[in-house]
Amino acid sequence: MDLQVRAISHKHNAKIAIVDISESMREICDLQKTNPFISIALSKFTLGNTLISLDNKELAKINSNYVSKNGAVKKMIAEFQNNKVRAYAQVKDFDIEEYIPRLSNNPVYATVGTEGQLLNSRDMGLKEPYISTINTDSPNMDHIWMDFLRDSNQVGSLLTSEVKLDDELKIKKVVGILIQLLPEHTQEDIDLLDSKLGNTKFICEVLMKSTNYNQVIKEIFEDAVILESKQIIFECTCNDNKILDSVKLLGQNEIQQLIENKEDVQVICDFCNKEYIVNNQNLKNLI
């Protein structure tokens, strides 16, 4: 079961979140038929978007777009709302030899690329969503998310994630942790965080082996109070109305031509691969 756990340490002026979206990402990557490198990059990207979304109102929709200028993935989209996730990679498969060693000998870094832009949209139910953007020069998705948090929230943050594949190179586990210092933190709090979390590789190993995330949090901050623990699921938000809206983007001239040719329109959702058929009669309603 995928879940999120949130906690706070008043003694050390920090809040902490752990997210496990292993089942969701396995389903998403299976649906999109992504190769192992895309699966890892998309999982880490989606995990980051989920972690930064947990402090927002439950019905808020948090959407992130990452556009790579030179990486194999080209573009990734991740969305979180009401403890539901969905994600999409523009490129599902590629020849890694085209990117190594031109970009990086690390195949996941070559997938993400060394130049990109991250756009985050937070729709809180107001008139307009709040949009923030950063340009990046790092192929490390964890570092990209920490740069975003530093730029947008102006607080000290540590975000680290890990993705493990099984023997068939399918998603086995996707887990990550986000720790943020509260505004009233002291230098002592910073030093404690550095001493406990200086080795992020060790933290990831602990998260990979554990399913008792409450205990992991207690080991980091002994006074931590668990605020909530909730299930997360993969669920696509596509529907007939959204598909009709996407068909409208074709423009009236092209829609009119389809009507005259008595053609239907086939639309496949990028996120879940569900197929929609907009018949000719419904196309007439779009004019």
Q: Same domain for 174 and 124?
A: yes
pLDDT tens for the chain, 287 residues: list them.
999 999 999 999 999 999 999 999 999 999 999 999 999 999 999 999 999 999 887 778 999 999 999 999 999 999 999 999 999 999 999 999 999 988 999 999 999 999 999 999 999 877 788 899 999 999 999 999 999 998 887 677 889 999 999 999 999 999 999 999 888 888 888 787 777 666 677 788 888 988 899 999 998 889 999 999 999 999 999 998 888 888 888 888 888 888 888 888 898 999 999 999 988 878 877 77
pLDDT of residue 227: 95
Among the candidates 198, 219, 234, a domain finishes at: 234
Residue 86 and residue 215 in one domain: yes
Indicate the DSSP class of residue 198.
S
* Whether residue 203 is found in the same domain as residue 188: yes
Using omega within 30 degrees of 0 as the cis cutoff, is the peptide bond preceding 101 cis? yes
Rg (CA), the chain: 21
- The enclosing domain of 104 has a CATH number of 3.55.30.10
Q: Tell me: do 33 and 69 sit in the same domain.
A: yes
- Looking at the fold, whether 258 and 227 belong to one and the same domain comes out as no
Q: Are residues 67 and 201 in the same domain?
A: yes
Residues 93 and 146 in one domain: yes
pLDDT given at position 199: 67
Residues 208 and 252 in one domain: no
Residue 18 corresponds to which tokens in the numbers above?
């752990």
Query: Where do the H-state alpha helices sit in the chain?
Result: 22-32, 36-53, 107-112, 141-153, 187-197, 200-209, 213-220, 240-248, 252-260, 280-284
* β-strands 84-89, 233-234 pairing: parallel
- 228/268 same-domain check: no
Residue 96's H or E segment, with its range, is none
Cα–Cα distance for residue pair 62/218, rounded to 1 Å? 28
Encoding tokens for residue 26?
A: 């396995």
Count other C-beta atoms under 10 Å from residue 19's C-beta. Answer: 28
Specify the pLDDT at position 27: 97
CATH at 279 = 3.90.1280.10
Domain boundary among 193, 214, 234: 234
In terms of domains, do 113 and 249 share one? no
Do 225 and 254 belong to one domain? Answer: no
One-character DSSP codes across 140-181: -HHHHHHHHHHHHH-S-EEEEEEEEE-TTS-EEEEEEEEEEE
Model pLDDT, residue 38: 98
Residue 231 near residue 23, CB atoms below 8 Å: no
In this structure, the answer to whether residues 179 and 141 fall within a common structural domain is yes
Q: How many domains does the chain have?
A: 2
Full residue range of the structural domain in which residue 42 is found: 3-234
pLDDT for residue 115: 97
Contacts of 260 (CB under 8 A, 6+ apart): none
